[in-house]
Amino acid sequence: MSLNRRGNKPYRKEKQAGIESFFFSGGSLKKRSEPLKEVPLPISNANTKDIFKTLSGTSSQSFEDNGDCDLQEISMPKNFRVQSVPRPAAFSKKVSTSSISRQQLKRPFDSIGSYSSTQQKDEEEPEIVIVSKLKPSLVLTNHGTFSQHLGSKPASPAAEKSPQPSFDFEGLMSSVKPRAPKKLAIKYKPMTKSSSSMFQWSAEQQAVIDCVLDQDLNVFYTGSAGTGKSALTRELIRQLRQKHGESAVAVTASTGLAAVNIGGTTLHKFAGIGIGVGDAKHLVGKVLSNNQTKQVWNQTKVLIIDEISMVDVTYFEKLDAVAQGVRKIRKPFGGIQIVLTGDFYQLPPVSQNTQKKFCFQSTVWSQLVQKTVLLTEVFRQQGDQRLIHMLNAVRVGQLTPEIIQDFKSLCRPVVYEDGIMPTELYPLRHEVQRANENRLRQLEGFPRTYTAKDMLKQSQNPGDLVQLDKTVMAVKELVLKKGAQVLMLKNMDESVANGSIGKVMFFLPTGIWDAIRETLSEREMEDQDILNGVDCISAIFDNAPEDVLDSMWNSLKESVRERLLFHWSFSQNVPKNTPVYPVVRFSLGSHTSRSAFRAITPDTFVLESPGKTLAEREQLPLLLSWALSIHKSQGQTLPRVKVDLGRIFEDGQAYVALSRAVSADTLEVRNFDPSKVRVSRLVAEFYQRMGKA
């Protein structure tokens, strides 16, 4: 026999059961496993009275006490007896806990047998104990511990045959609040050459830090993909803000995605001139008429521009004119210290200027930039020197027959033990959308749609919501199924970070998932039988028919049913409108089969301007990752990449796509054609001059 969906059939158990205890402490329902023995102890009416009154709400009867207290006034449900149960000494040990939300505690059992009460002295916090056996019995102590005891026998034949009441625990647990999933803050630790950390800045990176921080120079630093430009930028931001104050350091990027990556805003938003329509005089007047934008320009001491390679020359010159006109200082950019970074070998700007395209073609560039630093040490593909050599050849367009053959040798399927597929990169957005939709459609199961919540913050301009949608990577509407492959967009903990790729395994309320994770270790979660058991529990929240649920449950191994019995029973009574979130299995690397399971809940994505948050989007930090656009992938590190170069059409596009990979072992290249590897002649000449300087 097995316990059915409503928990009314007895469950046969051969082994002697222990106790799974859940105790109410500090506003949370917490869990641990300990043995429990029933021995006579004096009963106190002091703490049990309110508990019994809270739980009772139906008919009541009087009870005789053991001479130590008077229970005549306590209102209790029928068919309940008073017995003495001690609190095990082991419960005083410090243990890890798991909280379950108030909504999820509503009517946790439909069949409850008997109540018991006892007194324990010198306890700091109350506990409640539920003991569940063949017909679950409830043992209440004045400490309030709830323990599930599968091995006990009924107190008496009469007790076993008595009607089994059900309870609404909402009154008792009214102080319980849902616990947000634990997220470890990822603090960026500054690294200097003299740092005691195992990681140190390279000599090239340290040169940039010295030029910017110590000499106050206008600096342009560049390098191939993976040379640590973004990490260096974040360090400069941190130290510059310490030096000048946060409001004096404007952190910008040419694209919204790049701005998010460094915690800044778009250059267009900072400047207050939009896309720069009109001549310089008109744009200066536009800024001067806006007191807030004018103040931002005047208080800025340092302007950082990331992905400068995607800023076209005309816009760059207008920015210089606006800075000088607003600040009334006839120096490049009005005397603001400028820090520029990017790689001109990557995707070029979209420019209407047919004569000039790149910023470095402007006379403003030569007047402005005082120091150029070329970063050469690669960190992304560290350890794969052959791939570094191949990518550098693609970057500058110097392909030898040997390198061409090396890339063609990567035209083979790469099989991963965890079943997570490589991310495919496409040059066009509609190709990406079609590829992801096709893959999602092929999956069986119930689709779940998560719609973002957008809101204006310190702005009254509805256009900021439009800009928010263009800027952040989190989509307005995210459709997921079990088995969907996703890309993590935020740092979560040491194992799961921005760029991690995983697969959706289940959809569960966070409280249920927290309780399951408290029961099972990370290694146990990798067992397929256990995964089948958790999947069975998640099917409850897919509104699967009862006969299907019972069939799924009965097909599980007995050992799995034993481990998950409480969670299976408990989940039957969770309100149907309880929100569920995806539980994602993230790979911990291509060279290991180990995984990390995480429940993903909504996070916040913001649109900022200097000193304030304009708008924000609340959405799951996930993106379908079977396919991404090459444009959107710029700046991302992808652990598994598949690239089809057949439709490449832009300078630098092949290089950006190929350089997302961290290793040749996890890079699959289709249709490699040397003619598709395009490099701008102007860019090549610019870097040649830089190398000779």
User: Nearest-5° angle of CA 185, CA 189, CA 190?
Assistant: 155
Residue 633 annotated as binding?
Answer: no
For residues 154-181, one letter each, b for 16 or more C-beta atoms within 10 angstroms of the residue's C-beta and e for the rest, the string is bbeeebbebebbbbebeebbeebebbee
Residue 635 annotated as binding?
Answer: no
Residue 228 annotated as binding?
Answer: yes
CA distance 327 to 336: 9
Annotate 600-636 with DSSP letters as a single string: ---EEEEEEETTEEEEEEEE-SEEE-SEEEHHHHTT-
User: Token pair for residue 275?
Assistant: 């896309």
Q: In what order do the strands lie in the sheet with 371-375?
A: 265-266, 249-253, 302-306, 337-341, 219-223, 371-375
CA distance 295 to 288: 9
* Cβ pair 178, 103 in contact under 8 A: yes
Partners of 219 in the beta sheet?
339, 371
In what helix (H) or strand (E) does residue 293 lie, and over which residues does it extend? Answer: helix 291-299
Q: In what order do the strands lie in the sheet with 485-488?
A: 595-599, 581-587, 501-508, 485-488, 622-624
Q: 187 CB contacts (<8 Å, ≥6 apart)?
A: none
Per the rule left: phi > 0, alpha: psi between -120 and 50, beta: everything else, 111 is beta
User: Token pair for residue 214?
Assistant: 């110590």
| Cα of 248 vs its chain's centroid, Å | 31
In what helix (H) or strand (E) does residue 466 lie, and over which residues does it extend? Answer: helix 463-471
| 3-state class (DSSP) for residue 454 | strand
In what helix (H) or strand (E) does residue 265 lie, and over which residues does it extend? Answer: strand 265-266
Residue 98 annotated as binding?
Answer: no
CA distance 98 to 497: 23
Among the listed residues 647, 203, 225, the one whose alpha carbon sits nearest the alpha carbon of residue 396? 225
User: Token pair for residue 83?
Assistant: 């017995």
Among the listed residues 315, 305, 302, 313, the one whose alpha carbon sits nearest the alpha carbon of residue 273? 315
Calculate Rg over the CA atoms of the chain.
32
Token pair 């302007």: residue: 303
CA distance 205 to 378: 12
Residue 226 annotated as binding?
Answer: yes
Would you give the DSSP letter of residue 80?
-
| Cα of 579 vs its chain's centroid, Å | 17
Annotate 86-100 with DSSP letters as a single string: PPPGGGGS-------
| Cα of 56 vs its chain's centroid, Å | 42
Annotate 521-586 with DSSP letters as a single string: -HHHHTSHHHHHHHHHHHHHTTT--HHHHHHHHHTS-HHHHHHHHHHHHHHTTS-TT---EEEEEE
| 3-state class (DSSP) for residue 682 | helix
Residue 225 annotated as binding?
Answer: yes
| 3-state class (DSSP) for residue 16 | coil
* Cβ pair 149, 132 in contact under 8 A: yes
Residue 224 annotated as binding?
Answer: yes
CA distance 535 to 381: 37
Token pair 């800027």: residue: 471
Residue 9 annotated as binding?
Answer: no
The one-letter amino acid at 461: N
Please give the annotated binding residues, written as ranges: 223-230
Residues of the binding site for ATP: 223-230
